[in-house]
């Protein structure tokens, strides 16, 4: 990947003249079945730009409980776009009836509900996968209510591999879809938002306003192209390693939330802060995801042997 970055053909992406960025955008748009896509430095900027395309200050966005756009993007929706996010459902999912119940009346006293945002896979729910039939049902409900639809698909690649369907099948119900290159695909940075030609033109202006216009960005776009060529199909290995880790944790009496569907394992332990610290001292890095929940994520730098080694190190502090 670094060799591809060093050899990347570059230009000025602010003027749309970087050939590597353009190739990446065309490639991702095609994979998602959308007319166009735009490259962003980060997933947070990608999501926040997409929210702004569909809304005006004071509007309401419906999202899942513990959605990344609310809990992990620094309050950007309210700070930058004046949006309110109303959360529904549990475990990363919600139903059409819950969407209908969350809609605000068409009354001057209420903030207008403008957008339904879906996260797939759902980070805080342990990489939960939302399936095409569920997405289609939610999309029909949103359309009936006059809502736009955005998918936070930072891990959409994982969902597609887990389900054995093309990414475009999961992107189809949505107006805009964000995807990340720096999660399971292993690129150093970068996300994209795909949508219509008009929406991508709006996104380009918003990206500039947010400070995301980059010049010779081909050096990082080349990493994304390499990742799509070499790291997409292998995501199944991460999923298998996550299941291996979860089973091993259960064997040493650690409480795993549920069998992972993709590459995230949620671990419930007493005194998680102390457990996390002791694990770090033994070279095992875990993220704090809730008051008593830790998160372990498998990726292309973690093989089956690494999982077994991590389990041995965790065993030494679990009892």
pLDDT single digits (tens) 188-229: 999 999 999 999 999 999 999 999 999 999 999 999 999 999
Q: Please report, rounded to a whole number, the percentage of residues in the chain having pLDDT higher than 90.
A: 93
**pLDDT at residue number 82:** 98
C-alpha 43/C-alpha 209 separation (Å) is 16
**pLDDT at residue number 13:** 97
Predicted confidence (pLDDT) at residue 258 exceeds the cutoff of 90: no
**pLDDT at residue number 288:** 92
**pLDDT at residue number 104:** 96
SS3 letters across the chain: CHHHHHCCCCCCHHHCCCHHHHHHHHHHHHHHCCCEEEEECCHHHHHHHHHHHHCCCCCEEEEECCCHHHHCCCCHHHHHHCCEEEEECECCECCHHHHHHHCCCCCCCCCCEEEEEEECCEHHHCCECCCHHHHHHHHHHHHHCCCEEEEEECCHHHHHHHHCCCHHHHHCCCCEEEEECCCCCCCCCCEEEEECHHHHHHHHHHHHHCCCCCCCCHHHHHHHHHHHHHCCCCHHHHHHHHHHHHHHHHHCCCEECCCCCCCEEEEECCCHHHHHHHHHHCCCCCEEEECCEEEEECCCCCCHHHHHHHHHHHHHHHC
C-alpha 166/C-alpha 171 separation (Å) is 9
C-alpha 120/C-alpha 163 separation (Å) is 12
pLDDT in tens, 129-143: 999 999 999 999 999
Phi/psi of residue 127, each to 5°? Answer: 75, 30
**pLDDT at residue number 24:** 98
pLDDT-based confidence at 40, cuts 50/70/90? Answer: very high
CB 187, CB 39: distance < 8 Å: no
pLDDT-based confidence at 170, cuts 50/70/90? Answer: very high
CB 274, CB 282: distance < 8 Å: no
Mean pLDDT computed over 110-130: 97
**pLDDT at residue number 318:** 75
**pLDDT at residue number 61:** 98
**Average pLDDT, whole number, for the chain?**
96
* Reported CATH class of domain 235-318: alpha beta
Predicted confidence (pLDDT) at residue 152 exceeds the cutoff of 80: yes
Task: Write out the two tokens for 82.
Answer: 């004046």
**pLDDT at residue number 225:** 98
Q: Please report, rounded to a whole number, the percentage of residues in the chain having pLDDT higher than 70.
A: 100
C-alpha 302/C-alpha 319 separation (Å) is 25
pLDDT-based confidence at 319, cuts 50/70/90? Answer: low
Predicted confidence (pLDDT) at residue 57 exceeds the cutoff of 90: yes
| Domain spans, the chain | 2-230, 235-318
Mean pLDDT computed over 62-75: 97
- Angular region, 57: left φ>0, alpha ψ -120 to 50, beta rest: beta
Predicted confidence (pLDDT) at residue 257 exceeds the cutoff of 90: no
* Reported CATH class of domain 2-230: alpha beta
**pLDDT at residue number 255:** 86
C-alpha 224/C-alpha 237 separation (Å) is 19
Predicted confidence (pLDDT) at residue 41 exceeds the cutoff of 80: yes
The 10 Å Cβ neighbour count of residue 75 is 10
Predicted confidence (pLDDT) at residue 145 exceeds the cutoff of 80: yes
């Amino acid at each position: 990947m670094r060799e591809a970055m060093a050899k990347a053909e570059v230009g000025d992406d602010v003027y749309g003249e970087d050939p590597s960025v353009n190739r990446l955008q065309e490639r991702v748009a095609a994979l998602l079945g959308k007319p166009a896509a735009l490259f962003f430095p980060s997933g947070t900027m990608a999501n926040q730009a997409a929210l702004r395309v569909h809304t005006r200050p004071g509007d309401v966005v419906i999202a899942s409980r513990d959605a990344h756009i609310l809990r992990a993007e620094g309050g950007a929706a309210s700070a930058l776009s004046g949006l309110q996010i109303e959360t529904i459902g549990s475990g990363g999912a919600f139903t059409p009836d819950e969407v209908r119940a969350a809609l605000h009346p068409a009354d001057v006293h209420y903030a207008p509900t403008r957008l339904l945002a879906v996260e797939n896979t759902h980070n805080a729910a342990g990489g939960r996968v939302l399936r095409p039939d569920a997405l289609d049902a939610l999309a029909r409900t949103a359309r009936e209510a006059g809502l736009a639809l955005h998918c936070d698909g930072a891990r959409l690649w994982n969902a597609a591999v887990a389900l054995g369907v093309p990414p475009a099948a999961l992107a189809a119900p949505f107006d805009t879809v964000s995807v990340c290159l720096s999660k399971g695909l292993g690129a150093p940075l970068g996300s994209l938002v795909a949508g219509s030609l008009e929406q991508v033109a709006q996104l380009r202006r918003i990206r500039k306003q947010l400070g995301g216009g980059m010049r010779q960005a081909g050096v990082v776009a080349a990493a994304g192209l390499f990742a799509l060529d070499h790291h997409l199909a292998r995501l199944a290995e991460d999923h298998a390693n996550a299941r291996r880790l979860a089973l091993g944790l259960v064997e040493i009496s650690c409480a795993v939330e549920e069998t992972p569907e993709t590459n995230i394992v949620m671990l419930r332990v007493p005194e998680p802060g102390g457990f996390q610290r002791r694990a770090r001292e033994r070279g095992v890095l875990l993220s704090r995801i809730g008051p008593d929940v830790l998160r372990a994520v498998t990726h292309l730098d973690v093989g089956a042997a690494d999982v077994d080694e991590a389990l041995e190190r965790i065993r030494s502090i679990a009892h």
